[in-house]
C-alpha cells in the first residue's frame, strides 16, 4: 500500500513538472514582497531581488525594532513593521525566514490578513511536518510552496546578508500532490532568477536527504566542540584550521537547529544511528590495531569527499540539467 501511494505521488509530481514552463523570469512577477525575519537569508533574498531589478516594494517584518530599522537603514528593505499582521497586508509574496518552529504561530497570526491570490513560501530546511501544519492553516485562496535554498554562512543577521548568496547554489522546491501549479511555477522561476539552480523534490525525500547531508553534520559539529571541552576545555584554543573548518557550522544559531531536530526527528535519528555504527567500527579497528583496514576506511572517505565537489557525481545537479 505504501509503495502504491508513493508511486502515485511520484506520478503526480512528474505530471505536474511536465506541464510547467520552467524558463527564467524576464521580470519578477510580484509587486509587494513581505519578508518575515530579515536576517542572513531573508536579507540576502531582499538584496538579490533588488540586484535583479525588482521595482516593487519590499517590507521587512521583525519583532525586534532595532534589527528591522537596521535593515531599512542598510537599504535591504524599503519599509518595515514589527507587527506581522499589519506588515503582510497587500503583499502578493510572503517569505517565512524565521526559525521553522515559529512558522505555525506566524501563520496563525497573519492568516486573516493575507490577501487572496497571495503566495506564502519559506526558506526552512525541514519540509514534511512543516508543510502538513501550514497547509491546514492557509486561508482559502492562498497557496503555500515549500523552498529550501542551500546557502548560508556561519555569521547570522542582516549585516551578513549578500545579494550573491544564492548564486550557483541549489534551491530545493518541495511540492506535494495538492500544490497549486501556478504558485509552484512562480516560486520555481523566482529562485532561478535569483541565481539558484532549482530542483524539485518531495517533502519526505528532502527531509531524508538533508537529515544526512546537513542536519547530521550540524549536530556533530556541536557535539564535537562539546566533547573536546568535556575532555579539557583549556585545550580548545590549540585547535588549528582543521578543527575550525570541521566545526564552523557550530556557530549557527542554536534555536534554529533545535527546531530542525524537533521537526525532522525520525530522519535525524536514522542518520545518527548510521554515524554511531560507523564510529563504533572505526573505534574497534583502532582498538584491534587493525591499521590496514583503518587506512581503507580513510581512503574510502577521501574518495567520497573528492566526489562532493564534482557536479558530475551530483545527482541533484544531473537532474537539474536534464530538467532544463
CATH architecture of 206-288: Orthogonal Bundle (1.10)
Average pLDDT over every residue of 173-184:
95
pLDDT, position 314? 56
Range 243-262 burial, b when 16+ CB lie within 10 A, else e = eeeebebbebeeebbebbbe
pLDDT tops 70 at residue 18: no
Helix (H, G, I), strand (E, B) or coil at 276: helix
Convert the pLDDT of each residue in 50-97 to its tens digit: 999 999 999 999 989 999 999 999 999 999 999 999 999 999 999 999
Is residue 147 within 8 A of residue 171, CB to CB? The reply is yes
* Packing angle of the helix pair 216-232, 265-287 (nearest 10 deg): 50
> Which of residues 22 and 270 earns the better pLDDT score?
270
pLDDT tops 60 at residue 28: yes
pLDDT tops 80 at residue 122: yes
Convert the pLDDT of each residue in 212-247 to its tens digit: 999 999 999 999 999 999 999 999 999 999 999 999
Cell of 151: 546557502
Helix (H) or strand (E) holding 119: strand 119-122
Query: Among residues of the chain, what percentage have pLDDT more than 90?
Result: 82
pLDDT tops 80 at residue 319: no
pTM of the model: 0.84
Measure the CA angle with vertex 35, ends 323 and 25; round to 5°.
35
CA distance 251 to 31: 36
CA distance 127 to 131: 6
Helix (H) or strand (E) holding 294: helix 291-308
Choose from 55-69, 141-155, 297-311 the range with maximum mean pLDDT: 55-69
Is residue 47 within 8 A of residue 160, CB to CB? The reply is no
CA distance 175 to 275: 30
The mean pLDDT value of the chain amounts to 89
> Within a 13 Å sphere around the CA of 308, how many CA atoms are in the beta-carbon half?
8
Cell of 282: 572505526
pLDDT, position 29? 81
C-alpha distances (whole Å) from 284 to each of 34, 104, 281, 296, 297 are 54, 45, 5, 14, 12
pLDDT, position 311? 56
Listed as own residue / partner, the contacts of 102-105 with beta carbons closer than 8 Å and 24 or more positions apart are: 102/259, 103/130, 103/133, 103/134, 104/133, 104/134, 104/137
pLDDT, position 4? 37
Average pLDDT over every residue of 111-122:
97
Listed as own residue / partner, the contacts of 78-83 with beta carbons closer than 8 Å and 24 or more positions apart are: 80/38
CA distance 267 to 172: 18
CA distance 111 to 132: 16
pLDDT, position 316? 52
Residue limits of CATH 1.10.3660.10 in the chain: 206-288
pLDDT tops 90 at residue 9: no
2-201: CATH topology? Rossmann fold (3.40.50)
CA distance 173 to 145: 7
DSSP 78: S
Amino acid at each position: 500500500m505504501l509503495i502504491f501511494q508513493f508511486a502515485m505521488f511520484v506520478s503526480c509530481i512528474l505530471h505536474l513538472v511536465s506541464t510547467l514552463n520552467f524558463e527564467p523570469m524576464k521580470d519578477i512577477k510580484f509587486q509587494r514582497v513581505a519578508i518575515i525575519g530579515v536576517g542572513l537569508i531573508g536579507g540576502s533574498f531582499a538584496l538579490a531581488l533588488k540586484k535583479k531589478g525588482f521595482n516593487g516594494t519590499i517590507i521587512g517584518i521583525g519583532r525586534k525594532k532595532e534589527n528591522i530599522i537596521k535593515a531599512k537603514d542598510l537599504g535591504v528593505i524599503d519599509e518595515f513593521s514589527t507587527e506581522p499582521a499589519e506588515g503582510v497586508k497587500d503583499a502578493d509574496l510572503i517569505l517565512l525566514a524565521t526559525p521553522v518552529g515559529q512558522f505555525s504561530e506566524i501563520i496563525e497570526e497573519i492568516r486573516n490578513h493575507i490577501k487572496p491570490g497571495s503566495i506564502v513560501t519559506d526558506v526552512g530546511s525541514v519540509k514534511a511536518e512543516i508543510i502538513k501544519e501550514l497547509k491546514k492553516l492557509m486561508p482559502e485562496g492562498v497557496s503555500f510552496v515549500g523552498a529550501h535554498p542551500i546557502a548560508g554562512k556561519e555569521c547570522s543577521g542582516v549585516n551578513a546578508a549578500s545579494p550573491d548568496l544564492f548564486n550557483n547554489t541549489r534551491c530545493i522546491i518541495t511540492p506535494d500532490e495538492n500544490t497549486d501549479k501556478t504558485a509552484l511555477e512562480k516560486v520555481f522561476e523566482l529562485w532561478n532568477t535569483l541565481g539558484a539552480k532549482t530542483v524539485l523534490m518531495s517533502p519526505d525525500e528532502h527531509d531524508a536527504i538533508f537529515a544526512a547531508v546537513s542536519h547530521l553534520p550540524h549536530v556533530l559539529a556541536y557535539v564535537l566542540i562539546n566533547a573536546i571541552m568535556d575532555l579539557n576545555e583549556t585545550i580548545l584554543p590549540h585547535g588549528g584550521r582543521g578543527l575550525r573548518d570541521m566545526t564552523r557550522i557550530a556557530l549557527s544559531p542554536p534555536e534554529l537547529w533545535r527546531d530542525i531536530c524537533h521537526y525532522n526527528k525520525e530522519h535525524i535519528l536514522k542518520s545518527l544511528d548510521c554515524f554511531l555504527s560507523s564510529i563504533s567500527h572505526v573505534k574497534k579497528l583502532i582498538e584491534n590495531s587493525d591499521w590496514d583496514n583503518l587506512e581503507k576506511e580513510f581512503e574510502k572517505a577521501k574518495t567520497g569527499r573528492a566526489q562532493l565537489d564534482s557536479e558530475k557525481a551530483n545527482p541533484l545537479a544531473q537532474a537539474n540539467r536534464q530538467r532544463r
